[in-house]
Amino acid sequence: MITISFSQDCDDGMLLFDCVGEGFCNNEPGYGFDCYVYNESCQDFNGDGITDAWVGDGWCDDGEWGYDFQCAEYSYDCGDCGDIYTDYNGYCSYLPQEFTFMYEGENRQYALYIPESLTLNAPLVLIMHGFTGSANGIYNYSGMQSIADEYGFAVCYPNGTIDQNGNRFWNVGYNIHQNQTVDDVGFLSALVVYLQNEYNLSPENTFASGMSNGAEMSYMLACFAGDKFKAIAPVAGTMFGESWTNCSPQTTPVLEIHGTNDNVTLWDGDPNDTYWGPYPGMDEVIEFWVDIDGCDNSENILLSNMNTIKHRYYDCIDNTEIWLYEVVNGGHDWPSYSSQEIWNFFTHFIDSSNADINSDGQINVADVVVLVSMVLGTVDVSTNADLNADGLVNVQDVIILVNIILGV
């Protein structure tokens, strides 16, 4: 049993008790975690700049810690360590369903979040963890499932494999992985096709994003599986190895979110890195994709409420765009706005070819008027009005059309 002593009173609501009634301050400096089952506010009480959710957070607690410390009936980690746990009180019920997928003779793991609002032919978003991370970790860190609940798309969180040092990774060409042969491009490409077929998800509207090593995997997918992914949104990543030296892309919309003070993946790159390997900076990466997409115009927009400069490159081939979110003084992390902005970006490229309801060559409010009339039964229903391909023409189709017009 760990006992923590303190000489001063706790802040309001911060006095907690362990299994045997010993009191401790949740916000005692340097203590560790901030969020417990009885603390719903989840603030950074210990001042370490991190807010951790503790259970199911991707950290390997190894059964040592639980919501009530050493209480045997609660001391589990929702499988962060790959262990077996008993969820008596339903603390882990919010986690996504976990599955395995056989690829090249190996069982690969992934987590899948399907919101109740999902309709037929809904989009699919792939979110990939960073180096040493996990599917459950990026699930909790990104919060993309809450965006999926609101907008009605599926989210897949795949797991990388374990390298020679026991770390989970994506094979993007790091120097330390020169002897690794795992084909993650093939695995992820096969996985999304399987999910599209199994859950009636849209092959035309499948997207990829990830953090750090997962961001670099996103670039690998754009380079070597561009036919499977409509757009990518890397966060705190760059292009490594073959993706930088031998990329064979189609025109692809790209959103990179990157902190200027990132001390892991440097904003300016590092041509002399011997551990990970040399890699380009953000200016070079964005210029590469601007050239691939043939963008003619650009603009810089200050998003003051996000402490971010949005660099937008547009008038590109196939109506693609390239965005760079320059997070001023930002570090190596997933900014709080990332998931919402990533989805906003993806919606600009959702296949809306059947959204011209009145067939006048434009998609605008006139199409909404006609579609609403069809839902109300005042005009005949046309075959292109079923935007979500669920066999019905109803208010869900109206919502989809409005979102297409608004770009949200």
pLDDT of residue 71: 33
Task: Please count the other Cβ atoms lying within 10 Å of the Cβ belonging to residue 310.
Answer: 17
The structure tokens listed for 149 are: 């609940």
Cα–Cα distance for residue pair 185/193, rounded to 1 Å: 13
pLDDT of residue 66: 38
Task: Please count the other Cβ atoms lying within 10 Å of the Cβ belonging to residue 85.
Answer: 17
Domains of the chain in start order, with CATH, are: 1-92 (no CATH), 97-347 (3.40.50.1820), 365-406 (no CATH)
Considering only CA atoms, which of 221, 255, 228, 226 is closest in space to residue 348? Answer: 255
273-324 pLDDT, tens digit per residue, is 999 999 999 999 999 999 999 999 999 999 999 999 999 999 999 999 999 9
Residue 344, pLDDT above cutoff 70 = yes
Interval 364-378 mean pLDDT: 88
**Residue 227 pLDDT grade (very low, low, confident, very high; cuts 50, 70, 90):** very high
Task: Please count the other Cβ atoms lying within 10 Å of the Cβ belonging to residue 75.
Answer: 17
pLDDT of residue 84: 55
CA 128 from chain center: how many Å? 6
Burial pattern 191-225, b for ≥16 Cβ within 10 A else e, equals: bbeebbeeeebbeebbbbbbbbbbbbbbbbbbbbb
∠ Cα 170 172 178 (to 5°): 100
Interval 43-52 mean pLDDT: 48
**Under 8 Å between Cβ of 127 and 144:** yes
Residue 156, pLDDT above cutoff 50 = yes
Per the prediction, the chain carries an average pLDDT of 81
Residue 154, pLDDT above cutoff 60 = yes
Weakest-pLDDT range from 30-39, 138-147, 267-276 = 30-39
Residue 247, pLDDT above cutoff 70 = yes
Interval 373-398 mean pLDDT: 77
**Residue 383 pLDDT grade (very low, low, confident, very high; cuts 50, 70, 90):** low
**Residue 382 pLDDT grade (very low, low, confident, very high; cuts 50, 70, 90):** confident
pLDDT of residue 23: 56
Specify the 3-state DSSP secondary structure of 352: coil
pLDDT of residue 19: 42
The answer to whether the Cα torsion of 266, 268, 273, 278 is positive or negative is positive
Weakest-pLDDT range from 22-26, 50-54, 299-303 = 50-54
Weakest-pLDDT range from 109-123, 293-307, 345-359 = 345-359
pLDDT of residue 358: 78
Interval 161-190 mean pLDDT: 95
Provide the residue type at 397 as one letter: D
Cα–Cα distance for residue pair 114/94, rounded to 1 Å: 12
Interval 251-278 mean pLDDT: 96
Considering only CA atoms, which of 310, 332, 331 is closest in space to residue 322? Answer: 310
Contacts 24+ apart (CB under 8 A), 358-366: 359/384, 363/401, 363/404, 363/405, 364/405, 365/405
∠ Cα 80 85 88 (to 5°): 125
**Residue 106 pLDDT grade (very low, low, confident, very high; cuts 50, 70, 90):** very high
**Residue 194 pLDDT grade (very low, low, confident, very high; cuts 50, 70, 90):** very high
Cα–Cα distance for residue pair 360/356, rounded to 1 Å: 7
**Residue 136 pLDDT grade (very low, low, confident, very high; cuts 50, 70, 90):** confident
Q: Please, is 134 exposed, middle or buried when counting C-beta atoms within 10 Å of its C-beta (0-12, 13-18, 19+)?
A: buried
User: Over pLDDT 90: what percentage of the chain?
Assistant: 54
pLDDT of residue 73: 37
State which of 13-17, 36-40, 75-79, 192-196 shows the largest mean pLDDT: 192-196
Residue 368, pLDDT above cutoff 60 = yes
The structure tokens listed for 289 are: 């994709």
Residues in the chain: 408
Residue 190, pLDDT above cutoff 70 = yes
The 8-class DSSP code of residue 9 comes to P
Considering only CA atoms, which of 105, 106, 52, 97 is closest in space to residue 79? Answer: 97
User: Over pLDDT 70: what percentage of the chain?
Assistant: 74
**Under 8 Å between Cβ of 298 and 313:** yes
Residue 385, pLDDT above cutoff 70 = yes
Could you tell me which residue, 393 or 41, shows the higher pLDDT? 393
Cα–Cα distance for residue pair 248/245, rounded to 1 Å: 10
Could you tell me which residue, 28 or 274, shows the higher pLDDT? 274
**Residue 54 pLDDT grade (very low, low, confident, very high; cuts 50, 70, 90):** very low
